A = this chain, B = another copy of it.
């Protein structure tokens, strides 16, 4: 461990708490600036803790605290024995509150109503703006959903919430909604939708597994894909409106039940 003493190091005197906060604020800023200036991308590894400590003239424990803070806010991932990696979430403008409370029923319905406002607009825009490569990506999410459902193979394996096949199906279905949002071409709205889905993802998976109609949802997703691929914005919007209304009815029944 290389603990470099420097003007940025912190004394242990009476003012230490404030000085340390300022030091950490500055240090996280400098680490972020390093990521930007070096053009590091999601998945890229930062220099070693030792190299960063020497570059920024701080002791290793201070550097580690700054990195833990950047991990807590989604900017990097600390992999034990491997290093520190840039996370895709660093590029986000909007994120889910890491300290959020559990959702109550009203909050879940608010999230669904927000999706009902935003997603039809996104489906319509995607039908206008998506490139062929993007449409292939969208189709791939539904291929994965089809595999998880056992479509075209043997009978689909069905099991309770949290089990393997349901987990894969839910992940593929949510990837469909998230990818469609990206295809619409507005980064802010795509991130808003990502956050809304992140927020109720767990409840949604549970409710759909218990109360949802998996095959029906899959066919509706395929119809939306076909409308987007066929450059039919009005139809894509309408199908999404109907789909999300169905989802809300399922969730409302589940919450009342």
Contacts and interface: CB of A to CB of B under 8 A. Distances in A.
A93 interface: yes
Given A69-B72, A94-B95, A80 B114 contact: no
A101 B196 contact: no
Interface string A81-110: 000000001111111111111010011001
A32 B99 contact: yes
A255 interface: no
A11 to B, nearest CB: 14
A107 B78 contact: no
A187 interface: yes
Contacts of A99: 28, 32, 70, 73-75, 90
Contacts of A110: 186-189
The A contact surface, by secondary structure, is helix
A216 interface: no
A50 interface: no
Contacts of A91: 101
Q: Rank and list the top 7 A-B pairs by shortest CB-CB distance, nearest first.
A: A110-B188, A114-B188, A75-B99, A110-B186, A111-B188, A114-B189, A95-B97
12 contacts: A21-B68, A36-B101, A72-B72, A90-B97, A92-B97, A93-B97, A94-B95, A94-B195, A94-B196, A94-B199, A113-B188, A117-B121
